[in-house]
């Protein structure tokens, strides 16, 4: 019976990650349609999507680990699924490749490093801001 329960829990987690991933990817795709990046130009859309996703994951992970407890499927659904589908390492890599193949090495290196720095700064800011807010409210565990 315990094996069946563990298997059911795994299937539930996989299902919510899948649903969340589709939702996050659809939002990202829609933003790409609204704000396309012309060839040979700096891929601002992907950089901003990745930085925004990192900011939200910094907020989210601190909120669910140090703030209010969440249902066991919230992290896989939102953290792995929605935010994993929303942010996009594959498009980031393709953008770098397109810039290099299009003979824009300076843009490629700027984008490569800029995205990394923006993502790290965003997740750190989201986590720090959320910790500050939780402490200020007295809601930190």
Tell me the three-class secondary structure of 14-66, residue by residue: HHHHHHHHHHHHHHHHHHHHHCCCCCCCCCHHHHHHHHHHHHHHHHHHHHHHH
Residue 7 belongs to some domain of the structure? no
| 76 domain residue, yes or no | yes
Count of domains observed in the chain:
1
Q: Could you tell me if residue 83 is inside a domain?
A: yes
Rounded to an integer, the average pLDDT of 76-99 is: 94
Whether 15 is covered by a domain: the verdict is: no
Q: What single DSSP character describes residue 96?
A: H
Cβ atoms of residues 141 and 67 within 8 Å: yes
Q: What is the mean pLDDT of residues 122-132?
A: 97
Rounded Cα–Cα distance for residues 48 and 60 (Å) = 18
Confidence of residue 40 (pLDDT cuts 50, 70, 90): confident
Range of the domain at 129: 20-135
Better pLDDT: 5 or 16:
16
Q: How confident is the model at residue 81 (pLDDT cuts 50, 70, 90)?
A: very high
């Amino acid at each position: 019976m315990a094996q069946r329960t563990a298997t059911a829990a795994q299937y539930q987690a996989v299902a919510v990650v899948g649903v969340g991933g589709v939702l996050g990817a659809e939002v990202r795709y829609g933003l790409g349609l609204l704000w396309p990046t012309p060839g040979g130009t700096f891929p601002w859309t992907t950089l901003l999507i990745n930085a925004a996703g990192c900011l939200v994951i910094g907020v989210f992970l601190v909120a669910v680990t140090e703030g209010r407890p969440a249902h066991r499927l919230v992290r896989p659904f939102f953290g792995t699924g929605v935010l994993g589908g929303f942010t996009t390492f594959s498009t980031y890599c393709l953008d770098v490749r397109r810039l290099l193949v299009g003979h824009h090495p300076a843009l490629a290196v700027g984008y490569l490093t800029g995205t990394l720095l923006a993502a790290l700064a965003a997740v750190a800011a989201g986590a720090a801001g959320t910790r500050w807010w939780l402490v200020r409210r007295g809601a930190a565990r």
